[in-house]
Amino acid sequence: MQHLYPKVTWRRGDASVRPTNDKRVIYLTFDDGPIPEVTPRILDILREKKVKATFFVVGDNVRKHPELLQSILNEGHRVGNHTFHHLPGWQTSLAEYLRDVSACDEQLAAAMNTQQLTRSDHPLFRPPYGRMRANQLRELRNAGYEIILWDVLTHDYNPRFSTEKLLNIVRRYSRNGSIVVFHDSLKSNERMLAALPQAIDWWYDNGFVLCTL
């Protein structure tokens, strides 16, 4: 899969992720929120565990729940663009896709204050489903977005994956600089919330620190 998208970020390279205490780094990310049934519970876990994460938000969810975006930002987490309508790039024209990305940015700007807007040094974008057309990728990169994918996908959205199977994925594939994906959605809710605190504990026990992108 990585050979199809060579100009995106799958993992942070070692040289850029070494903090002063020389511990290994995990970048924990959440896709598809924010929604009131799930997001506050994620934030509770992250606060309790003293973890900062990155949320790739759907613009329409931000429109419906701007207070949840504020909660994410107030807790010190980072946000990225995940389109306004969670569009499948391979089924969407370039013009429509770019309009949807812009609509998400506009919704983020409307929900953020000026200080929060200027705090981000470069915009982050994650394509829904981890797929997009080459011309979509090219245009968004030219517009200054860093396209973020992942090297650890937990499959928390899949009902055939047990909590233990999710944790086995985390244990097997996590390494320095890994970008890990959970989902901030109803479909993933039960498995994700069961696995998340255990995954965080495992990372801590194995010498990782967790940072925003």
E strand or H helix that includes residue 124? strand 124-125
Catalytic residue among 65, 77, 86, 183: 183
Q: Long-range contacts of range 117-125, CB-CB < 8 Å, 24 or more positions apart?
A: 120/78, 122/146, 123/80, 123/81, 124/54, 124/56, 124/78, 124/79, 124/80, 124/81, 124/148, 124/213, 125/80, 125/81, 125/82, 125/101
Q: What are the b/e assignments for 9-28, b being 16+ CB within 10 Å?
A: bbbbeeeebeeeeeebbbbb
Q: Tell me which of 31, 32, 156, 184 is the catalytic residue.
A: 31
* Catalytic annotation present for 31: yes
183 tagged catalytic: yes
Q: Which of 85, 81, 93 is nearest to 143 (CA)?
A: 81
Instruction: Name the residues annotated as catalytic.
Output: 31, 183
